[in-house]
Amino acid sequence: MNYEKKFKDKRDELLYASFTWSWGNFDRQIQDEIIYTPLHMNDYLRGDTIESDHHHAIADVHYIYPFSDNSKLEVGYNLNYTKEHSDYEYSFDHVLDPSTSYIFNREEQIHALYATYGFQVGKQFSAQLGLRGEMVNNDFSREMYSGKREAFPKDYNSIYPTVHLSYQVNQMNSFQISYSRRIRRPDPWTMMPNVDLTNQEYIRFGNPKIDPEYTNAYELGYSLMFNKTTIFTSLYYRAVNNAMNRFEFPWTEDNALLYEFEWAWAVAGADATTGKTAQTFMNVSKSSNYGMEIIVDRDITDWWKANLSMNFFGSYQDGTDLGYDKVRSFNYNAKLNTTFTLPKSWSIQVSGRYYAPRKTIQGRSDARYDVDIAIKKSILNKQGNIGINFRDIFDTRGGHSYSFTDEYISFSNRHPYSRSIRVSFSYNFGKTANMRKRMQQQQQQDSYSGGSFDEE
C-alpha cells in the first residue's frame, strides 16, 4: 500500500508512506544414507524434516520540506519487522532424535528515525548531511524436543551519520568527499543455534551471540564526464569493527567452553572423538580495507550501453583475539553490466562478476565468478513487461576455501542452488514511476546506513 500527499503552498513539499506485508511457508524433507569407508564405523540413514512459516513487514513514512530552491530537509521513520517459526526434526535410522530436534522462534524489530539535510551554495558546491538512529530488538529462542528451552536475545541501538560534499569544477569535472557509518547484520542462518550433524566429522552451527559488523567508510572521488562516457574514480578507507568471519576449530570440550558454545557441546559432544572439526561464525576484533575503485559508464552505440567497475584494495585482519595471526593481503574484483536495447521493445542485459583469490585469518579462498542474463519485452502499450531471468548460467556460484591450523588442514567446496530461470510479468495501472523511484531511493538509504552490504 502506498500513499502520497502533495502540498499547494510549496511545489516540492511532499509526504508519502508505504507498507508491505509478505508471508510464506517452507517445507523440506531429506533423507541421506551415510556410508563409511573403511568399514570401521556403522553406516546409517539420516532424516531431515523442516517446517517453517514466516511474516515480514516493512513500513516507511517520509516527509520532504523545501526551505528554498537550494535547500531541503527530509525526515522519516522506517520499520522492518520479521517473525519466524520453524520446526526441525532429525532422525537416525527412521527413529526421531530428541537430542537434536527442536523448535526455533525468531522475532526481529528494527525501528529507525532518519533525517537528511541537503543544500547548495552557488552553482558549484553542494552538501548532504544525514543522521539515522536505530533501535534493534532480536528475540531468538530454541526449544529442544527433550524439553530444554534457551533464549538468545540480541538488542542494540546505533547511530549512523553521513556526510557528502561535492564540488563541480565545470561541466566535465567534479570532486566528491564523503563519510558514512554502516552496519552489516548477521543473517538468521548465521545466528541460528542449529547444530548440523549431516557430516559427523564436520559439525556446523550458528552463533546466536555474534555481534553486527560496523564500518566507518571514508571516500574521495573524482568524476570526469564526456559526451557518451562517464569515468568515476575514488580512493577509500574502510575501518571495520567486529568483522564477521567464518571460523573453524577442532571440536573438543575445551574449545567449546573457550568459545562459549556449551549449548552446542550438549548436542554434539557426547560422541566427540579426535579429528572432528566445528564450523561457525565469529567476530574478528578489527579489520580494514583501503584501495581504489574505477567505474566506467559508456554508451557504445544508441542501442548498446556498458558499465564496468573495478576495485583494487588491500585488506587487513587482526585474528589475535581468536588465537591467529594478523593477515595483510592485496585483492581485486570486477563487475560488468551491459544492456542491449533491441527493436520492438526487446532488451537484453548481461552481467558478470569476478572475485580474485583472498586470504583469511585461517587460510584462503579461490577465485570465483558468475554470469547472469535477463531478457525483457514491453507489451500492452508499454504498460506491461514480460521478463526471463537466467541466473548463474554457467553454474559457477559458490567457491573453494582452505583452512590451515596447527591441528589440521581442511578443504571446503560450497556450491549453492543458484542456477535458475525465472519468468515474470508486471503491469502498471497508473503513474507509479515517481513512487517507485522514491521507494528505491529509500531502500538504498536503508542499505547504505542501516542495512547489509558486501565489501567484495
Q: What is the pLDDT of residues 160-208, one digit of tens each?
A: 999 999 999 998 999 999 999 999 988 877 888 878 877 767 888 999 8
d(CA 322, CA 258): 10
> Which cell numbers hold the place of 433?
514511476
Residue written as grid cell 553454474: 395
Q: What is the pLDDT of residues 38-65, one digit of tens each?
A: 655 677 787 888 899 999 999 999 999 9
Model confidence band, residue 151 (pLDDT cutoffs 50, 70, 90):
confident
State which residues form the domain around 124: 2-341
Residue written as grid cell 566429522: 201
Q: Is 391 contained in some domain?
A: no
d(CA 30, CA 37): 22
Is the model more confident about 197 or about 220?
220
> Which cell numbers hold the place of 288?
580494514
Q: Is 393 contained in some domain?
A: no
Q: Is 49 contained in some domain?
A: yes
Residue type at 16?
Y
Q: What is the pLDDT of residues 327-360, one digit of tens each?
A: 888 999 999 999 999 999 999 999 999 999 988 8
> In whole numbers, what is the pLDDT of the chain averaged over residues?
86
> Which cell numbers hold the place of 249?
576449530
pTM, rounded to two decimals: 0.78
d(CA 364, CA 376): 39
Q: Is 346 contained in some domain?
A: no
Q: Is 331 contained in some domain?
A: yes
d(CA 60, CA 13): 17
d(CA 244, CA 214): 10
The residues that bridge with 270 in the sheet, in sequence order, are: none
DSSP characters for 297-343? EEE-SSSEEEEEEEEEEEEEEE-GGGT--EEEEEEEEEEEEEEEEET
Q: What's the structural domain count of the chain?
A: 1
> Which cell numbers hold the place of 284?
574478528
Residue written as grid cell 544525514: 130
d(CA 207, CA 249): 14
d(CA 272, CA 269): 5
Q: Is 433 contained in some domain?
A: no
Q: Is 409 contained in some domain?
A: no
Query: In sequence order, what are the residues at sequence separation of 6 or more whose Cβ sits closer than 8 angstroms to the Cβ of residue 195?
Result: 100, 203, 204, 205, 264, 267, 268
Instruction: Please give the average per-residue pLDDT across 426-438, as a whole number.
Output: 64
CATH number of residue 322's parent domain? 2.40.170.20
Residue written as grid cell 547511530: 159
d(CA 88, CA 142): 10
Q: Is 148 contained in some domain?
A: yes
